[in-house]
Structure 1
Amino acid sequence: MMNRAVTVACVQAAPVFMDLNATVDKTIALIEEAAQRGAELIAFPETWVPGYPWFLWLDSPAASMPWVYRYHQNSLALDSDQARRIAAAAAANDIWVALGFSERDNGSLYIAQWIIDNHGATVATRRKLKATHVERTLFGESDGSSLRTHQTPLGVIGALCCWEHLQPLTRYAMYAQHEQIHIAAWPSFSLYQGATAALGPEVNTAASRLYAAEGQCFVIAPCAIVSPEMIEQLCTDETKRQLLKAGGGHARIFGPDGSELATPLAENEEGLLFATLDPAAITFAKAAADPVGHYSRPDVTRLLFNPAANKPVVTIEPQPAAEPEWLVLPEDPQQ
């Protein structure tokens, strides 16, 4: 459990879009910077590696297929040299890492988060429970095994991506595991501006803030930036330039009472947010309202939660066939 203050870093930056190796280089540079400035944990945005697939929102599935191929090629496999470099950087800098990435698992991709300890060991990997809207044309989905918290020397850590924070039952499943430090990873808030508030910074930043106040936990909400270079790659006509804008970075760190713990950066400014998390703040917040404890009413409403992994292939090992009864010889030869 969390029994001391912990200094954390929250990333607001643009990846080197669709370039796996260059984004890994930038990841390691940010890990080193955070450690040098005293952070014990650094959190990265959703699909930081190799960048969020904005092309899904800008064109038809058929027109996006060349992008899809490149995205597969630049997604991160956990058994790769690139992954080993990131884990080694965590160990070399004595820092915990919560990395948002597109996970390549053979022929499928998943929106994933990887928690690495300060020795470079994997504490957990999880996948977004259900990809959002057009994301489903590219990414698979997970199961209840991805809704878990993890006991660590820093405290009880959990993570969700993007609009998983708009799923009330998902949130409650995480709260019920007494989360203390939550990683709320976001891609950027610069898509379809003026068309819908649901994709904008006010609504989604509020979702992170509510998570902190509702779950009485610290929320680190890293958020990527859409760079001008990304706009040049993605927005090949005026219509697309109207749909996706540069900027959109709105990283935040919230306390268990919903207060902001770090001064936000400008939406097009790259950098790290830092905050020191005092566990006493959780105690004070829980004393007022603990939705899975003294403030709950399980006689009225309860959550049915299945945390099991649901594997698509279950191998049944062949068993030696039993001898038919008529082949079993009696012990008494007279019978």
Structure 2
Amino acid sequence: MQTIKAALAQISPVLLNREATLLKVAQYVHDAADKGCQLVAFGEALVPGYPFWLERTDGARFNDDKQKKIQAEYAKQAVQIERGDLEPLCEVAKQKNIAIYLGIIERPSDRGGHSLYCSMVYISEKGQIASVHRKLMPTYEERLSWSPGDGHGLVTHSLGEFTVGGLNCWENWMPLARASLYAQGEDLHVSIWPGNLKNTYDLTSVLAKEGRSYHMAVCGLMRPTDVDVTLPELAELADADEAFFANGGSCIANPDGSWLIEPQTECEGLFIAELDHASVRRERHNFDPSGHYSRPDVTQLTVDRRRQATAVFKDE
């Protein structure tokens, strides 16, 4: 496939409800596939939601009972891949022959089973979980809830003529993280965000032009009215005097930096565009960041992609 159709799924989660949010995700995957898409992407931490409460409920208060209650529920609703939480979604991807990028809060057993990671999961069109990238460094107040990740998920995937890769939110500001994907031939970059126009408007087109790649920026959406009022610890969010915690901003930039889909705000929806690999090849004529315009004899990047663990067991 020299051309593919790609979809930005800009949706809100069912906050702190893993199963309901995954059902909503599956509905949008079905819709994207039925519209002929080969790829659909969702925002950062969508399942079971971004921790908007941290900056609104005094999240830095140490050993606070309220914060511990919220975090305990967050962990309960987080995704455990080993348990099979994503298997139904993998089956949808396989049945519909569509690839998925999904932002989750992961609670992995390989790190003890209680700490949380902001992870970006790639499910192939064959229904296989092909990579799980744990965010290298949570941003600012996110560190009150999420743990730092590792380089294990800094990989790319083939989709038609394209080589796709992605990063979580402010990781997209990290030049070396981007360079690790460029070096693997990335020509379609997917950045996922909790959602805000201020994050995607300036950066998306610049990074598309830097990589001479298509850049899909996919955002979530969140309003006070999306907060379940039966969750007493989150009452301050439900009562907030603001229209949006996250107003979207999903968009796609062409390899020359021009807009293919301009940033979409304040609405849920599926935004679809056709990507032509010939556009990448045209723009790589005068600049290729890891090809003819690189100088590996002068500068070279080393990436440790081992999954980090606190213990290595040798039983034999």
* TM-score normalised over the length of structure 2: 0.88
The yes-or-no answer on 1:107 pairing with 2:106 is no
Which residue identity does 1:72 align to in structure 2? A
Matches within 5 A, 1:72-221: 72-105=75-108, 106-153=113-160, 155-189=162-196, 201-221=197-217
Partners of 2:30 and 2:161 in 1: how far apart? 19
Which residue identity does 1:7 align to in structure 2? K
Q: What secondary structure does 2:32 align onto? A: helix
Describe the superposition over 1:191-240 as per-residue Cα deviations: whole angstroms up to 9, x where unpaired: xxxxxxxxxx33543222222111111111110111232467546289x9
Partners of 1:207 and 1:235 in 2: how far apart? 34
Q: What secondary structure does 1:53 align onto? A: coil
Specify the alignment match of 2:52 in structure 1.
Answer: 54
The yes-or-no answer on 1:222 pairing with 2:208 is no
Partners of 1:219 and 1:140 in 2: how far apart? 27
Which residue identity does 2:287 align to in structure 1? A
Specify the alignment match of 1:277 in structure 2.
Answer: 275
Single out whichever of 304-313 and 68-77 deviates more from structure 2.
Answer: 304-313
Partners of 1:237 and 1:11 in 2: how far apart? 24
Partners of 1:203 and 1:103 in 2: how far apart? 23
Partners of 2:192 and 2:121 in 1: how far apart? 11
Partners of 2:130 and 2:159 in 1: how far apart? 9
Partners of 2:242 and 2:300 in 1: how far apart? 41
Single out whichever of 147-156 and 166-175 deviates more from structure 2.
Answer: 147-156
Specify the alignment match of 1:317 in structure 2.
Answer: 315
Which residue identity does 2:73 align to in structure 1? R
Match of residue 28, structure 2, among 23, 27, 30: 30
Partners of 2:195 and 2:218 in 1: how far apart? 9
Specify the alignment match of 1:15 in structure 2.
Answer: 13
Matches within 5 A, 1:293-312: 293-312=291-310
Q: What secondary structure does 1:241 align onto? A: coil
Specify the alignment match of 2:37 in structure 1.
Answer: 39
Partners of 1:237 and 1:108 in 2: how far apart? 24
Specify the alignment match of 1:236 in structure 2.
Answer: 236
Report runs of 4+ in structure 1 exceeding 6 Å deviation.
none
Q: 8 Å contact 2:118–2:146 — kept in the other structure? A: yes
State the Cα RMSD in Å.
2.3
Please say which structure displays the higher CA radius of gyration: 1
Q: 1:154 to 1:114 in 2, by over 3 A?
A: farther
Specify the alignment match of 1:330 in structure 2.
Answer: none
Q: 8 Å contact 2:59–2:67 — kept in the other structure? A: yes
Which residue identity does 1:293 align to in structure 2? G
* TM-score normalised over the length of structure 1: 0.83
Partners of 1:129 and 1:42 in 2: how far apart? 23
Q: 8 Å contact 1:246–1:268 — kept in the other structure? A: no
Q: 1:288 to 1:235 in 2, by over 3 A?
A: farther
Q: 8 Å contact 2:186–2:213 — kept in the other structure? A: yes
Offset, 1:244: 8.3
Describe the superposition over 1:107-157 as per-residue Cα deviations: whole angstroms up to 9, x where unpaired: 121111111122211221111111112212221222222222123445212
Partners of 1:302 and 1:121 in 2: how far apart? 32
Specify the alignment match of 1:68 in structure 2.
Answer: 71
Q: What secondary structure does 2:91 align onto? A: helix
The alignment covers a number of residue pairs equal to: 303
Offset, 1:92: 2.2
Offset, 1:243: 8.2
Which residue identity does 1:228 align to in structure 2? P
Q: 8 Å contact 2:200–2:249 — kept in the other structure? A: no
Partners of 1:216 and 1:241 in 2: how far apart? 41
Single out whichever of 228-237 and 305-314 deviates more from structure 2.
Answer: 228-237
Q: What secondary structure does 1:222 align onto? A: strand
Q: 1:37 to 1:257 in 2, by over 3 A?
A: same
Describe the superposition over 1:148-169 as per-residue Cα deviations: whole angstroms up to 9, x where unpaired: 2123445212110000011111
